[in-house]
Amino acid sequence: MKRGTMPTMKDVAREAGVALGTVSKVFNDIPVGESYRQRVLDAAQSLGYQVNSYARGLKAGRTGTAALILPNAYDPYFAALADNVCQALARRGYRMLLTVTGSDPDAEQQCIRMVEQNKVDGVIGLTYNPALEISPDVPFVSIDRYFGPAVPCVASDNFGGGQLAVEKLTELGCKRLAFFRIGTDVPGEPDKRLGGFQTTCQQRGIEHTTLVLNDRDGYEPFRTFLREHIQDGRPEYDGIFCNTDRLAFYVLAMLEDLGLRVPEDVQVVGFDGVRQFGNDVYYCSTIVQPVAQIAETSVDILLREDRSDLPSLICLPVAYTPGGTTRDGEHGQ
């Protein structure tokens, strides 16, 4: 970056014949006489002046940048989040610093530090690290993970999602339901999907079971479960609610391997709302998380002026969407 070549506020002030402070005011939307404002704008235009946001950041403390911390950026749900948060921030004139941590606790903590050190105006984080230290110096909004009343958390209505899944599977005629889940056991909001499932099943007297695995168990126990629960060529559990779409895909594959037909023999519902390439077609029936709303709300809370009375948990409504790929009726739901 060539230096000395960029015009500064001082140059603009000289060109416009006004004081330095006046120029500053113009670029900070502080009321200034219209004729002055115009002169400054013209001068800035002709000089090609642009505010140096590092000088601004240094002096004013606000930098116009917020950070988003994600485990990774390739998972479709996270990618959608990154996209929407970026747009929501841009709409408010903010830039987005994206950091992927690989879910490594050290890396995450390091990222938070980097971010503090970088003096971003705020941090939105989706992290499963239970021991994460969040500096009280930087506004923080957590997604999908409740850190306690002091840290605002935005999440889907995971409990309601579990409930919805049960309702839909029931509507589709399923009699016996199974809940599948794999993943690190962390105190995140997504845990509540199980709660919603169980509670609703119990309330309605629906036969059900759950199979919750750790990451290290791998997916095979699901296959074993499915294989061992076939009677007379038909599955004992005719409705399967998977904790994520990803798991749902595996389950669909396993069912096919086992010769079970979807949806004739068994119905499958996932969670997340992973779409094909951003259009409105979903790979499988799923509880869709309102990603755009999550992003918008998080940004909204993050940038709120009055930080004295922030909500501690915001649950956004999910929706059931039948799967329909372009391969019409493939999953049949």
d(CA 218, CA 97): 34
Q: Is 61 in the site for its own copies (CB under 8 A)?
A: yes
Q: Is 45 in the site for its own copies (CB under 8 A)?
A: no
Contact 164, 195 (CB under 8 A): no
> Cβ atoms within 10 A of the Cβ of 69, count?
25
| Least distance from its own copies to the Cβ atom of residue 1, Å | 5
d(CA 82, CA 51): 26
Q: What are the tokens at 148?
A: 């306690």
d(CA 72, CA 77): 10
| Least distance from DNA to the Cβ atom of residue 204, Å | 58
| Least distance from DNA to the Cβ atom of residue 301, Å | 22
- Residues of this chain, 220-249, that bind its own copies according to CB under 8 A: 246, 249
User: What distance lies between CA 127 and its chain's CA centroid?
Assistant: 10
Q: Which of 33, 130, 195, 278 binds its own copies (CB under 8 A)?
A: 278
Name the binder of 64 from its own copies, DNA, none, CB < 5-8 A by kind: its own copies
d(CA 122, CA 169): 41
Q: Is 25 in the site for its own copies (CB under 8 A)?
A: no
d(CA 24, CA 51): 9
Q: Which of 47, 114, 258, 310 binds its own copies (CB under 8 A)?
A: 114
- Which of these ranges, 108-116, 151-159, 207-215, 306-314, lies near its own copies under the rule CB under 8 A? 108-116
Q: Is 165 in the site for its own copies (CB under 8 A)?
A: no
Q: What are the tokens at 145?
A: 């993970």
d(CA 39, CA 77): 48
Q: Which residues bind its own copies (CB under 8 A)?
A: 1-3, 5-6, 50-55, 57-58, 61, 63-65, 72-76, 79-80, 82-83, 86-87, 90, 95-100, 102, 113-119, 121, 137-138, 246, 249-250, 252-254, 256-257, 275-278, 325-328, 330
